[in-house]
């Protein structure tokens, strides 16, 4: 479930908002001037996001390795020479 609060409401009711995220597992979107600017989420959600980011990094690294094996690579010295031209 996602709830929206204004920045003013967050300031006035921060402990309630934190409780919704921590105990109610709610995602609370914070708005300022009708624009979504932040979110308060549980640490469980943060840990899931971090694991997803790690997975994306691994997939990117594997793709780069495959490209290197497929297309070859050049030495740092050769790259420097190429960039100086």
Residues 35, 57 within the same domain: no
Using a pLDDT cut of 90, give the percent of the chain over it: 93
Name every residue whose Cβ is closer than 8 Å to that of residue 21 and which is 6 or more positions away in sequence: 27, 28, 40, 41, 42
Positive or negative: CA dihedral 8, 9, 11, 17: negative
pLDDT, mean of residues 38-59:
97
pLDDT, mean of residues 45-57:
97
Residues 33, 53 within the same domain: no
Asked whether residue 34 carries a pLDDT value surpassing 90, the answer given is yes
Chain mean pLDDT for the chain: 95
Domain that holds residue 73: 44-84
**What is the number of structural domains in the chain?**
2
pTM greater than 0.75 (yes/no): no
Q: Which CATH number covers residue 21? A: 3.40.1620
């Amino acid at each position: 479930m996602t709830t929206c609060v204004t920045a003013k409401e967050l300031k006035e009711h921060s402990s309630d908002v934190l409780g919704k995220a921590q105990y109610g597992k709610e995602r609370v979107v914070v708005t300022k001037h009708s624009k979504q600017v932040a979110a308060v989420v549980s640490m469980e959600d943060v840990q899931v996001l971090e694991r997803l980011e790690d997975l994306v990094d691994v997939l990117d690294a594997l793709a780069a390795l495959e490209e290197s094996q497929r297309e070859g690579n050049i030495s740092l010295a050769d790259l420097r020479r190429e960039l100086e031209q």
